Structure formats: structure tokens, C-alpha cells
Amino acid sequence: MHEMSVTMSLMDLVLDEAAKAGASKIVGVNIVLGEMTGIIDHYVQANFELLSQNTPAEGAALTFKNIPRQARCRGCAHVFRPTDLAWSCPRCQSLEIEITGGNELYVESIEVE
């Protein structure tokens, strides 16, 4: 997985946003992370601690809102959580489904001083 390159992008993004706001210190970062991205939050956390040393983001607390995968049946509109093995609708067994959640990878907000 590519947690390191994701964390580098994350660092750039939060430093940029903080600078735009004229903030000198970032104390928290709120991240929304979808299950299907395959990104593991504690690796991002560990990389962030490393990369943020001697930057305004040093010591910032990362908070992850983990979003499970979610799908919607195109047949009966039932919303469900698919598993690795079953991507058919549990209500009507249709295979015609649309992914509606679990793809997220964004910064919702940052906490600055």
C-alpha cells in the first residue's frame, strides 16, 4: 500500500490550508477514510508523526472517520454493506449494484491555533 505517498500529499494539503488561514500551528486533522481505498489509518498516523517533525503540524492529532463500503441495489434500491464474497443484493439477489460509499479519502477539517 501507498500510505507514505498519501501521507506526503496529506502533509502538503494541511500545511497549505493552515498557511492560507494564517495559522502557525496545526493541532488536529480530521480525515474521512473509505474502506475500499485500502489505506490503513495507523500507517498514515505513523508516517505523519515522522513527516511532521519540525513543521507547524508536529504533534497534530489525526482523527479518522472510517467509512465502510456501501452499495445500493439498482433493482430494489436496497442499501447494504457488501462483503468480499457477496456483492448481490441481500433483498432481491440482483447483481446490478452501484457503489455508494467506501471510496472516500479527504480532509474534512483542520484544527489550528
> In this complex, which beta carbon is closest to other proteins, that of residue 1 or of residue 77?
1
- Interaction between residue 71 and Zn ion (CB under 5 A): no
Q: State the CB neighbour count (10 A cutoff) for residue 100.
A: 12
Where do we find the cell 474534512? 108
Which partner from the list other proteins, Zn ion, none does 67 bind, CB cut-off 5 to 8 Å by kind? none
Residues 44, 4, 12, 108, Cα dihedral to 10°: -30
- Interaction between residue 100 and Zn ion (CB under 5 A): no
Binding mask 24-63 for Zn ion (x = CB under 5 A): ----------------------------------------
Least CB distance to other proteins at residue 57 (A): 13
